[in-house]
């Protein structure tokens, strides 16, 4: 059974991530682990920042913040678990206190796929940099990520970006290991190249990986022109619901907005993204 990890978020796309995880789990016979994270370091900072004469008040304030965050996380987990139960999807949930990055990477180690909102906010005043935890899981947890990059939409058309090289092969290999979108939807292998020969070289490895995994033949397209513009325009014309990409090489998500295919899709907010580094 496929094990999906769904971290709770206060990002507006959280409900979309919940629906996407339920839809994915149902389609692939999977179960969902719902995880709410409480930033223990931030709670300690509230207490340690007080003057000696105000330590008691600071300690009380930190305890109240902790209680509020745990209660909020528990409620979010319960709500998500109820939605899973209503859909007939096995689910279990928990609230964990500690370093959010470390806890999420550790949890990812026992999961097959992370389904995530765009950002992983723990509380309104404790927002992480957009995508920072998602990047950490991809880099350290070695787990593919399915991002709810748009309002929820059922997956009917999947476009795989075939950039060539090891990243593309890892991404397609991760998708094939999970048998994601093996049936029941339209699949397109897409390469951006100005020559048919160059496009064919980019398509060869993904085609082989999917065939070896028992996938039916997918459509193949080679498109010319500026890579970002032609790729995003193609996905819009074909009404892609999921775009699968080989991650990115930059450290911070925010560096990519507007200067990469991944960043452009995030800016547009019209498609889910399957990413693997």
In a structure prediction context, what are the per-residue pLDDT tens digits for the chain, which is 277 residues long? Answer: 899 999 998 777 889 999 999 999 999 999 999 999 888 776 666 556 555 545 555 556 667 778 888 898 999 999 999 999 999 999 999 999 888 888 888 888 889 999 988 766 554 454 555 466 676 777 776 789 999 989 998 999 999 999 888 889 999 999 999 999 999 999 999 999 989 999 999 999 999 999 999 999 999 999 997 778 899 999 999 999 999 998 654 444 444 444 678 878 888 889 999 988 7
Residue 152, in any domain of the structure: no
For residue 192, give the CATH number of its domain.
Answer: 3.40.50.620
Check residue 32 and give its pLDDT: 98
Chosen domain end from 89, 124, 147 = 147
Counted domains in the chain: 2
Q: Which helix (H) or strand (E) holds 110?
A: none
> Is 63 found in the same domain as 168?
no
> Is 242 found in the same domain as 201?
yes
Q: Which residues pair with 33 in a beta bridge?
A: 5, 92
- Evaluated on CA atoms 163, 233, 250, 246, the torsion sign reads negative
């Amino acid at each position: 059974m496929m094990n999906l990890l769904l971290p709770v978020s206060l990002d507006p796309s959280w409900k979309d991530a919940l629906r996407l995880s339920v839809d994915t789990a149902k389609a692939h016979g999977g179960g969902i682990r719902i995880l709410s994270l409480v930033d223990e370091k931030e709670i300690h900072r509230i207490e340690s920042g007080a003057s000696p004469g105000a330590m008691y008040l600071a300690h009380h304030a930190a305890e109240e913040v902790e209680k509020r965050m745990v209660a909020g996380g528990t409620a979010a987990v319960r709500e998500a678990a109820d939605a899973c139960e209503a859909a007939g999807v096995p689910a279990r949930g928990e609230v964990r206190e500690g370093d959010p990055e470390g806890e999420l990477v550790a949890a990812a180690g026992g999961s097959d796929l992370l389904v995530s909102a765009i950002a992983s906010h723990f509380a309104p005043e404790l927002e992480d940099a957009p995508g920072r935890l998602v990047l950490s899981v991809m880099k350290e947890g070695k787990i593919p990520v399915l991002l709810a990059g748009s309002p929820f939409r059922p997956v009917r058309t999947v476009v795989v970006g075939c950039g060539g090289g090891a990243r593309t092969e890892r991404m397609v290999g991760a998708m094939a290991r999970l048998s994601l979108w093996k049936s029941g939807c339209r699949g397109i292998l897409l390469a951006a190249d100005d020559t048919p020969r160059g496009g064919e070289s980019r398509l060869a490895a993904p085609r082989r990986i999917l065939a070896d995994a028992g996938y039916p033949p997918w459509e193949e397209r080679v498109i010319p022109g500026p890579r970002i513009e032609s790729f995003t325009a193609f996905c819009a014309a074909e009404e892609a619901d999921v775009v699968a990409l080989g991650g990115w090489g930059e450290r911070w998500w925010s560096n990519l907005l507007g200067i990469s295919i991944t960043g452009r899709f995030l800016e547009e907010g019209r498609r889910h993204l399957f990413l693997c580094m």
